[in-house]
Amino acid sequence: MTRVGLLTSGGDCQALNATLRGVAKGLYNLYGDEVELFGFIDGYKGLMYEDYRKMSPVDFTGLLTRGGTILGSSRQPFKLMREPDPNGLDKVEAMKYTYRRMRLDCLVVLGGNGSQKTANLLSQEGLNVIGLPKTIDNDLWGTDNTFGFQSAVDIATDVIDCIHTTASSHNRIFIVEIMGHKTGWLTLNAGIAGGADIILIPEIPYNIDSIISKIKQRAAHGNGFTIIAVAEGAVSQEVAAMDKKERKKHLAKRKDPSVSYEIARLITEATGREVRVTVPGHMQRGGTPCPYDRVLSSRLGATAAQMIQRGEFGVMVAIKNRVVTSVPLEEVAGKLKLVDPASDVIGEARLLGISFGDD
């Protein structure tokens, strides 16, 4: 009998359930009745505190189009994994104990950067682990795409589309703040797809004067409205030049709710024009997975099942050049996939007249 543990860790997204379904269907078709699946509740927390439930094929029915995660999720910061919990529990040893007491043959982890770091830690501690790449930010190293990303792009794009009509009707400046603290993949793709005039991402620090210049240039050419897509982690050139300590102090003193409101205030002060800010927030994580994510998650899940059968552990399932493959967890852990400011997509966006605030 093959025994497999499943957990979903970190922030939620639209295709977690679809990926669980892909793993389960693959395993049931490969092993038949000779496989048992166990779902850990609320991510690594369930593994630490032995909170799990045995699952059956019926548990995975109807999940392809269902957002969120039936197992629940929680954020367990990697930097705190080696620190005891409030009751003195050694988290890593507790997870290893649960894995071995349950006689698991493999643990499948669906998660983003922090989750894959912990997956690699457990792999190095001797557990059989397979990672699956989940994040709406698409910033996991080693894979072209992560499940949840395209669904979030679709939602963020729809927000920009809706803003376009009201912005053009009233000749207003609108800022749409899109998720992405460290990387700008989501803002970049939604901004291009939604026809944003200005896109601000963490990888390209902005100059407020360049933003204002772009707005005035559009107005001079008869375009009274401007759409600005801003990643929540976007930074000005002045802030980007600060060291980590200085930046932390600066952000702590910020009076505006977020970078988008700060930019809006500065634009109004410089131009006298009204600026509206829209923050879709967690809407970007919610709802039904888009068709692309359903296909991707199904492929990744099925491949994970094959890897379990082959005994290929210590890896994250990935997609490269449309081919599903794997990369060692130790190569993935701790690496961010950033937007390259010199990449083709940035150059092509500039040719379309999109400003990145650094002109």
Residues catalogued as catalytic = 137
Would you say the C-alpha torsion 309, 337, 254, 282 has a positive or negative sign? negative
Give Cα separations from 107 to 12, 90, 93 (angstroms).
Answer: 19, 19, 15
The angle, 0 to 180 degrees and rounded to 10, between the axes of the packed helices 185-194 and 344-351 is 30
Show the tokens assigned to 297. 């998650």
Pairing outcome for strands 315-320 and 323-328: antiparallel
- Residue 50 neighbours by CB distance under 10 Å: 14
Residue 25's contacts (CB-CB under 8 Å, 6 or more residues apart) are: 60, 301, 302, 305
How many alpha carbons lie under 13 Å from residue 163 in its C-beta half-sphere? 29
* Alpha-carbon span 174 to 80, nearest angstrom: 39
Neighbours of 169 (CB within 10 A): 9
Six token digits for residue 316? 């994250």
Strand duo 315-320 + 129-133: pairing: parallel
Q: Which residues pair with 226 in a beta bridge?
A: 173
> Reading across the β-sheet that carries 35-40, which strands appear in turn?
52-55, 35-40, 2-8, 106-111, 129-133, 315-320, 323-328
Q: DSSP assignment, residue 130?
A: E
d(CA 136, CA 14): 9
Helix axes 16-31, 291-310, angle to 10 degrees: 40
Q: Which two tokens stand for residue 283?
A: 């809407």
Alpha-carbon span 308 to 13, nearest angstrom: 24
Whether 195 and 227 have beta carbons less than 8 Å apart is answered as yes
DSSP character at residue 10? S
